[in-house]
Structure 1
Amino acid sequence: MLLSALVCGAVVFPGLFFSFKAGLRRFFPKWTDADVVSVSERLMSAVHGSLATAAGSIIVMSCKDVMNDNHWLVNTFVMFGVPYMTFDICAMYLSHFHIEKSRGQSRGHSLQTVRAFLHKDWLLVLHHATLLSVFLPITLFFRRGLGDFFIGCFFTTECSSPFVSIGQILIQLRLDDSRLHRLNGLAVLFTFFTCRILIFPFMYWTYGQQFGIPLYKVPFHLPLHCNLGNVVIMAPQIYWFILLVKKAKRLYLRRKKGTTKDEKEK
């Protein structure tokens, strides 16, 4: 089953990417290669995020015992997502390459182009590489079949990804000043805060409820490596959320300034 999931992922995600590319070229013939590749990568990311959220929700709702209950979707979806994490790095590089090419800053693939991509998107590349090199082996080999509930919770952290991708696509379509973009921005902030930050105290609270431990005492009942792992995962989520809040604040102030200017002109 795991090999089948791996093969399925290797077919689905590159297939989605190239299908989106073909469809966008057909419906938006005036778009540049940079526009087509960038939106295709974001649509593929949105699909993966939606599937991960659905899988995680099913697992979380199915596991009544947070430590011992098992669900077949855990290992299967991890293997299904391996090709996505690998191919998405390639797709992000292609997007970076075509954007730089459209600006006249790159004429072809080179080591310098790769370095520029890694410098610009190092955090996302590190995120994908960490999932492949750390999260994957821990989930498949070192958990001893324990904690499927918590793996399901980690899957649901992808809930904000579709909204982030939609926001980037709306900007690409020059709809960044639309009501839809503002509503999507609120959805990004809500889902990111709920599913990428509050999910950690939720996991601790659920564990405490099962074993009759107050929330503030739960960290002291867990092994040190579990707490450290959660801190390492949570830290970049807080950093990204702060960046999102700052971006939302800038957009709000810019819109407010524009509205005030229009009122004065009237």
Structure 2
Amino acid sequence: MLHVLFCGVVVFPGLFVVFRKVLPSIFKQWTDADVVLVSERLVSSIHAIMATTAGFIVVSSCNDVIMDRHWLATYFVVWFGVPYMTYDIFAMYLSHYYRFRVKGHEEYKEHSFRTFTSFVRREFLLVFHHIALLTILLPITLFYRNDRGDYFIGCLFLTELSTPFVSLGKILIQLGLQDCWLHKANGVMVLLSFFSCRIALFPYMYWAYGRRYGIPLPSVPFHLSLACNLGNLCILAPQVYWFVLLCRKGYRLYQRQGKAQNSPAVTDSTKAD
């Protein structure tokens, strides 16, 4: 048990360090900010693939959404979930720090309490999301479930399905490939996977619970504890906000590409005149 937990504590920082060492030798023109950003995204994708795989295993193994058990539902959170969320707060801070350091901000010449508080202010929602998972998902998983609901823990693992697509989009932009077909196709996958696994998944879980007990979907929240509903809301609310931002970003990108395609035609017609 302890050696597996130790593996989870070191694996993500270890991968992050490896990527930070390897990437500059491949992309020599990248700044420290570029390297840290891509390293963070690669590690996030690895964790997301692990979490999604664990989620599929747990969900497919549970016929009864309340009573069926699978050991991964508990141990993945302890071995990899908590270590990753803790590591990722630090990795996001480093990405923030080097981004502003490269831009020449005087206060970012070295790490300080001021640079960390600036990070928390700018990335408050992301930090809150990570802390909420550490303070809500972990206690529920370990202490308050009474060994029930492994199916729903597996469903929560599946929320990570969209992360590799989000990370790939940022990496493609970093490589200057934001106009290629792969980036466009990946953008569609970001929206589909994000909506399906981070938003629609929550009504589905309420529906699955209601079907288990013969309760209509609108009545399910009234049969659950206030703490359960608030916990789901704390996880769901940032997802809705981020999805709206993704839709806006996709719409702006679509508009820019439309203008870029129309501008050559305008130029040609002007020359013809």
Give the TM-score taking structure 1 as reference length: 0.95
Partner of 2:12: 13
Runs of 4+ in 1 over 4 A off after TM superposition: none
Task: Tell me which moved more, 128-137 or 143-152.
Answer: 128-137
C-alpha distance in 2, partners of 1:103/1:69? 53
- Contact preservation (8 Å) 2:69, 2:147: yes
Amino acid at match of 1:122: F
Q: Distance in 2 between matches of 1:246 and 1:143?
A: 38
Percent identical residues: 56
1:100-121 C-alpha deviation (Å, 9 max, x unpaired): 1111112111222112211111
Q: Is the aligned partner of 1:167 residue 2:162?
A: no
Kindly indicate whether residue 117 of structure 2 is the aligned counterpart of residue 115 of structure 1: yes
Give secondary structure in 2 for the equivalent of 1:155.
Answer: helix
Q: Distance in 2 between matches of 1:99 and 1:207?
A: 44
Q: Say if 2:59 is the partner of 1:94.
A: no
| Paired residues of 1:46 and 1:162 also in contact (CA < 8 A) | yes
**Aligned counterpart, 2:51:** 52
Deviation sequence 1:11-70 (CA, Å, 0-9, x none) = 210111111112212211221111111100010011111111111111111111111111
1:201 and 2:200 matched? no
- 5+ residue gaps, structure 2: 269-273
Inter-partner Cα distance in structure 2 for 1:226 and 1:133: 13
The residue number in structure 2 matching 1:76 is: 75
Distance 1:176 1:197 in 2: 26
Select the residue among 147, 150, 157 that pairs with 2:149.
147
Find the counterpart in structure 2 of residue 38 from structure 1. Answer: 37
* Structure 2 residue 194 is matched with structure 1 residue 192: yes
Give me the whole-angstrom Cα distance separating, in 2, the residues matched to 1:120 and 1:113. 11
Whether contact under 8 Å (1:74, 1:148) holds in the other structure is yes
> Contact 1:46–1:161 (CA<8 Å) still a contact in 2?
yes
Question: Does residue 131 in structure 1 map to residue 130 in structure 2?
Answer: no
Equivalent-residue separation in structure 2 for 1:178 and 1:123 (angstroms): 31
Q: Match for 2:90: what amino acid?
A: C
Instruction: Please say if residues 67 and 149 of structure 2, whose CA atoms lie closer than 8 Å, have aligned partners that are also in contact.
Output: yes
CA RMSD of aligned residues (A): 1.4
Q: 1: CA distance between counterparts of 2:85 and 2:229?
A: 25
Supply the distance in 1 between the matched residues of 2:225 and 2:111 (Cα, whole angstroms): 46
Distance 1:171 1:73 in 2: 35
Count, aligned residues = 265
For residues 132 and 215 of structure 1, the distance between their equivalents in structure 2, rounded to whole angstroms, comes to: 28
Specify the code of the residue in structure 2 equivalent to 1:71.
H
Distance 1:138 1:212 in 2: 24
Which shifted more, 187-196 or 251-260?
251-260
Distance between the aligned counterparts of 2:120 and 2:234, measured in 1? 21
- 239, 242, 254: which one aligns with 1:240: 242
Structure 2 length-normalised TM = 0.93
Aligned runs of 1:171-182 on 2, under 5 Å?
171-182=173-184
In the alignment, the residues of structure 1 paired with residue 217 and residue 65 of structure 2 have an alpha-carbon distance, to the nearest angstrom, of 15
* Counterpart mapping for 1:203-222 below 5 A: 203-222=205-224
1:61 aligned residue = 60
The 3-state SS of whatever aligns with 2:185 is helix
Tell me, in whole angstroms, the C-alpha distance in 2 between the residues paired with 1:132 and 1:216: 29
Distance 2:198 2:188 in 1: 15
